[in-house]
Amino acid sequence: MSTIVRKLISTANAAKPVAPYNQAVVADRTVYVSGCLGLDKSTMKLVPGGATEQTQKALENLEAVLKAADSGVDKVIKNTVFLKDLNDFGAVNEVYKQVFNKDFPARSCFQVAKLPMDALVEIECIAITGPVNTVTVE
C-alpha cells in the first residue's frame, strides 16, 4: 500500500490561526481549510464593520489559503458558514456569491452561540487539488 502524503499548509497571505491548528491540511488531493475569520492578517484583529466586511475578509483569507494549497474557489467541494446571527444570512450571501459565482459548491450555514474573537462570521471548506472536470447532472 502506498503512503498518502499529509501536507500542513501555512501562508503569510492569510490571517494566522488563533489557536493550535493549521490553516489547512492536504491529504492526497483533498484540502481541508480551517475556519477563516474576518481577520486582518497584519493586525490579527477583526476588520471594522459588520457581517458584510467580515465575510469579505474571511473569504479573502480562505482564497489565500486555498492558493497556498494549490487549489482555488473553483475547486471547493463544500463550504460551512458559521454565523453569530442568522439574520446576517442575506448580507453574507451577497458577498459570498461574488466569490462563488458559478458551479456552486455544496454548503451548510448555521447560527452558533459564539465564534472565536467574538467574530460574526467564520467559513471553512473542503476542496480538491489538481485537474478538475466539473459536470452537471440533472
How many angstroms separate the CA atoms of 94 and 58, rounded?
14
What was the pLDDT predicted at 2? 87
Indicate whether 1 pLDDT > 90. Answer: no
Cell of 24: 489547512
How many angstroms separate the CA atoms of 41 and 88, rounded?
23
| Structural domains of the chain in order of their starting residue, each with its CATH number | 6-128 (3.30.1330.40)
Q: What is the pLDDT of residues 54-103, one digit of tens each?
A: 999 999 999 999 999 999 999 999 999 999 999 999 999 999 999 999 99
Q: What is the pLDDT of residues 104-117, one digit of tens each?
A: 999 999 999 999 99
Mean pLDDT computed over every residue of the chain: 97
DSSP 88-119: GHHHHHHHHHHHS-SSPPEEEEEE-S--GGG-
